[in-house]
């Protein structure tokens, strides 16, 4: 350095830049922390919100009972028990009908309720009216063929008259 020469200001300006603790570094921390906190909030919200649409399980069945379908059959009894009868039509169609306390039995003496075994035997010609519910056939009425076609007493006739 020469005497009387002015010191270089250039070095002071350049040398002091590395010591600045101005807003430049704080801006980086603020800009870096905001996106991270937003990312965490969005991730948490995505985990807590269930976006899957609910679907019904495949094993759920309908809660409504199947509709009953009215049926009738003329045939010969091939099986008789306390709670069912099985009839075979002339065409070969065979069906077993369950008997309930509501089944009406029509005989030559009038009507009875549910006393089938004392009124019917194998090979009796019968007319059956009932309903099919699902895979079960229920007999509504069971009549000897000769009274089922108008040859017998009315259904509401008193026995013994």
Tokens of 154: 């009315």
Tokens of 158: 């008193």
Q: What is the mean pLDDT of the chain?
A: 74
127 vs 17, more confident: 127
Domain that holds residue 89: 68-148
* Within-domain flag for 2: no
* Within-domain flag for 40: no
Q: What span, in angstroms and rounded, lies between the C-alpha atoms of 95 and 53?
A: 46
Could you tell me the CATH number of the domain that includes residue 132?
A: 2.40.50.320
* Within-domain flag for 112: yes
* Within-domain flag for 72: yes
159 vs 40, more confident: 40
46-69 per-position pLDDT tens digit: 777 766 666 666 666 666 767 889
* Within-domain flag for 3: no
Tokens of 109: 């003496």
* Within-domain flag for 129: yes
Q: How many domains does the chain have?
A: 1
| Predicted local distance difference test score (pLDDT) of residue 73 | 94
Alpha-helical regions (H) of the chain: 10-16, 23-48, 145-148
Q: What span, in angstroms and rounded, lies between the C-alpha atoms of 65 and 117?
A: 30
* Within-domain flag for 61: no
* Within-domain flag for 80: yes
pTM tops 0.85, yes or no: no
Q: What span, in angstroms and rounded, lies between the C-alpha atoms of 143 and 105?
A: 6
67-89 per-position pLDDT tens digit: 889 999 999 999 999 889 999 99
3-state helix, strand, coil in the chain (%, to 5): 25, 30, 45
């Amino acid at each position: 350095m020469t005497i009387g020469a002015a010191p270089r200001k250039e070095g002071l300006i350049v040398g002091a830049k590395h010591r600045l603790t101005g807003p430049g570094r704080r801006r980086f921390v603020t800009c870096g922390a905001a996106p991270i906190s937003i990312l965490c909030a969005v991730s948490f919200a995505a985990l807590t919100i269930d976006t899957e649409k609910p679907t019904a399980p495949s094993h759920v069945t309908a809660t409504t009972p199947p509709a009953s379908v009215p049926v009738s059959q003329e045939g010969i009894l091939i099986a008789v028990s306390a709670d069912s009868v099985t009839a075979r039509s002339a065409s070969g169609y065979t069906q077993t009908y369950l008997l309930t306390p509501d089944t009406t039995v029509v005989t030559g003496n009038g009507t009875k309720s549910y006393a089938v075994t004392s009124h019917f035997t194998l090979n009796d010609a019968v007319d059956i009216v009932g309903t099919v519910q699902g895979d079960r056939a229920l007999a509504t009425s069971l009549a000897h063929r000769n009274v089922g076609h108008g040859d017998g007493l009315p259904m509401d006739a008193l026995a013994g008259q």
